[in-house]
Amino acid sequence: MAKKSKADAAASGKSGRIKTAGKSTPARSKKGAASRKPAAEKIEAGATPMPEDVFDPTSEQIQMRAYFISERRRRFDLPGDANSDWLEAKRQLLAEIRH
């Protein structure tokens, strides 16, 4: 069978495109830049950041950090003990939250 040309297809009322059943794509809305909200306004009204003084690192977090501090202290033969490692770990975790 010979291929039909575009002119033949147009004359017969058939186009070369295949029609698909399904959802049609909606037209893009024409909102201007003025209607867009800045990123700061997109945060929900009820979502408030946690105050810095409320955060208290858990014992597990402090313990893990103190372990790595003690390993570093032993590797470099630095002065200190388990209690100073614990206090330093807690101080570091609190400092990270503030920044």
Rounded CA-CA distance 42/36 in Å is: 10
- Nearest CA to 52 out of 98, 16, 91 is that of 98
The pTM for the full model equals 0.47
User: 9, 3 in Cβ contact below 8 A?
Assistant: no
- Write out the two tokens for 72: 């570093």
| 86-99 residue pLDDT tens | 999 999 999 998 88
Q: How far is CA 55 from the centre of its chain?
A: 22
| 57-97 residue pLDDT tens | 999 999 999 999 999 999 999 999 999 999 999 999 999 98
Domain ranges of the chain: 53-99
